Chain A
Amino acid sequence: MKIAVCVKQVPDSWAEKKMGADGRLDRASVDCVLNDLDEYAVEEALKLVEANSPTSEAGEGSGHTITLICMGPEKATEAVRKALSMGADDAIVITDPALAGSDALATSSVLAKAIKDGDFDLVICGTESTDARMSVIPSMLAERLGFAQLTFAGSLMLEGSTISIARQTEFGVEQMSAPMPAVISVVEKINEPRYPSFKGIMAAKKKTITTKTLADLGITAQSSWSEVKDSQVRPPRGAGIKIVDEGEGGKKLVEFLEERKLV
């Protein structure tokens, strides 16, 4: 089985994010990390391989490969390195000045081309990137690749070449299944991502990260089809009234709600 895991480098979710003068996220002024949710995608790929490997381990001898696919600036390799130290085998990083400011449509077309070239059976993504928060790349990949779409997976099972998931959304839980090839996205309930071990960190230094440009992929950049006209930082929400409960806290709370005509 050849598994691709799509991982993105994003600003640390604890960091304050702001817009640059060009109407794009200012990525230079913040610490960037592996998208939290993509760690769950890497973990699920590792679990799938371990469950189907004669040695119960990922890596050589398992009969399966896990390749990370990442589109981003050159420094995105740092995030990729972390996913390699968790146990993925190798990585492809697509980086090109022409890709700066790509929207979801452009991003998905680049990722789809890299996936097509690699002849993968399974593509695993996080459900959303913590910066863009669109949750659309996995479904766009399924559309572009003609793969089955198994997204928002809260659990996953592989039997033969059939994948079954429990799709967890606000509407409830749907059981879904499809033959491979498929695009899967995982919600954070699905597993507990492992911490890279010392051995894993050392091994990751020797793993191959192939950097590709658009020309290497044989495609040209697609311009963004949506544009930001302007952006304003909202005045930070000032803290309001704070009282200490000395026996009247509940009453005072209700008085506040009544004053604001909220009850």
Chain B
Amino acid sequence: MSNVLILVDHVGGIVPRAVGELATFGKRVGSVTAVICSSKSADLISQLSTFAIDKVIVCEGVEFEKYSVSATAQALQTVIAKESPIAVLITSSARGKEIAGRLAVRCESGLITDAIDLDSSLVATQSVFGGSTTVHSSVSHGVPIITLRSNAVDVVQDSNTPVVENLAVTFDGVDKAVVTSVEPAVKGGRPELTEASIVVSGGRGTDGNFAPVEEFADLLGAAVGASRAATDAGWYPHANQVGQTGKTVSPQLYVACGISGAIQHRAGMQTSKTIVAINKDPDAPIFDVADFGVVGDLFAVLPQAIGALQA
């Protein structure tokens, strides 16, 4: 049976849900082999137990922490040579895409990034131009390397215990750039922006006061996003920026509070299933894409909505 490799992304020792999504896509195509590249693999293996994974290959090394992108690309190339998979699936994070890029060069393979769906014959669906166009594409050379956006599919649960193998890898051609320290993005107990099924975002209209946005988000179990105007002003971290130069989110529900809806912002949220907007200006472009819009002051509308939800 054909074999699909998936890369186990991990942040601060946590395996994100997105890896379960890769396994779900992989199962459509063949058996799934998960590749762990880490210096602390034991902590990661157990977190894969509910995903549809047939085999785990563990590449262990401190190099993965020091030179994360190039070392991981090099290890994956070794695994590809050994396993001859029919495709490699990687999460569409900043790091995931860079690993995919280096791997594609190394293996002389075609690359597709930011897919939102994948069928059993490895045809990928992409949403391009800020969500205005849907494209189907496939790789025509080498081992297809495909990065998938998170939140694209419901994770299929599976309790089979995968076989675990260790594979020694060498790091001779590794990049000279060294990571000297890491400061993880603070999460504050809220779900990760790209994984959340609900996102509540605030813009310049909050005037720096994100309290009602956060309170509404917490009631809904949502992640908090921000427009560039809000992150530029220092009201919210850059890691929470939604849009062309921030993150692309595609949740079930997106609530834009005090955000005008500039094209660069819409490029990052336009594919959300349902969009709700609160804005004082009846002509704000955000209303052109909103399923439900309230023309009003967010400092009146949000507290009332919070009250109604708590009632």
Q: Which A positions have Cβ atoms within 8 angstroms of B?
A: 13-14, 16-19, 37, 103-105, 108, 127-128, 130-131, 133-140, 142-144, 146, 148-152, 154, 167-179, 182, 187-189, 223-234, 236-237, 239-245, 248-254, 256-257, 260, 262-263
- Contact, CB under 8 Å: A244 / B105: no
- Contact, CB under 8 Å: A250 / B301: yes
Quote the shortest CB–CB distance from A256 to chain B (angstroms): 5
Among residues of B, the one whose C-beta sits closest to the C-beta of A40 is B245
- Beyond A225-B110, A225-B111, A239-B290, is A257–B93 a contact (Cβ under 8 Å)? no
- Contact, CB under 8 Å: B109 / A262: no
- Contact, CB under 8 Å: A149 / B297: no
Among residues of A, the one whose C-beta sits closest to the C-beta of B305 is A250
How far is it, in angstroms, between the C-alpha of A232 and the C-alpha of B129 when the chains are bound?
12
Q: Select one of A142, A236, A257, A260 contacting B175, CB under 8 A.
A: A142
- Contact, CB under 8 Å: A228 / B136: yes
- Contact, CB under 8 Å: B289 / A239: yes
B98 within 8 A of A: yes
B94 within 8 A of A: yes
Quote the shortest CB–CB distance from A220 to chain B (angstroms): 15
B184 within 8 A of A: yes
How far is it, in angstroms, between the C-alpha of A18 and the C-alpha of B184 when the chains are bound?
38
- Contact, CB under 8 Å: A251 / B185: no
- Beyond A170-B247, A172-B182, A252-B294, is A19–B11 a contact (Cβ under 8 Å)? no
Q: Given the complex, which residues of B lie within 8 Å of A188, measured CB to CB?
A: 245
Q: How many residues of B contact A (CB 8 A)?
A: 94
Q: Given the complex, which residues of B lie within 8 Å of A227, measured CB to CB?
A: 137-138, 140
- Beyond A135-B97, A171-B95, A171-B184, is A242–B132 a contact (Cβ under 8 Å)? no
Q: Which B positions have Cβ atoms within 8 angstroms of A?
A: 11-12, 69-70, 73, 93-95, 97-102, 104-106, 109-114, 123, 127-142, 173, 175-185, 192-194, 198, 220, 238-239, 244-245, 247, 252-253, 263-264, 267, 270, 274-276, 278, 282, 287-297, 300-309
Quote the shortest CB–CB distance from A123 to chain B (angstroms): 13
Among residues of B, the one whose C-beta sits closest to the C-beta of A140 is B101
List, sorted by A's number, 16 A–B pairs whose CB atoms are closer than 8 Å.
A17-B128, A134-B101, A135-B97, A140-B105, A142-B70, A171-B184, A172-B239, A174-B179, A175-B179, A175-B182, A225-B140, A225-B141, A229-B136, A234-B127, A239-B293, A242-B295
Among residues of B, the one whose C-beta sits closest to the C-beta of A233 is B133
- Beyond A104-B101, A144-B105, A234-B132, is A249–B73 a contact (Cβ under 8 Å)? no
- Contact, CB under 8 Å: A237 / B289: yes
How far is it, in angstroms, between the C-alpha of A230 and the C-alpha of B192 when the chains are bound?
33
Q: Given the complex, which residues of B lie within 8 Å of A143, measured CB to CB?
A: 70, 73, 101-102, 105-106
Per CB-CB distance, the 10 closest pairs between chain A and chain B, nearest first, are A250-B304, A245-B296, A225-B110, A136-B101, A250-B305, A240-B291, A178-B177, A225-B141, A139-B98, A172-B185
Among residues of B, the one whose C-beta sits closest to the C-beta of A250 is B304
- Beyond A226-B111, A231-B135, A263-B220, is A139–B69 a contact (Cβ under 8 Å)? yes
Which of B178, B185, B304 has the largest number of chain A CB atoms within 10 A?
B304
Quote the shortest CB–CB distance from A37 to chain B (angstroms): 7
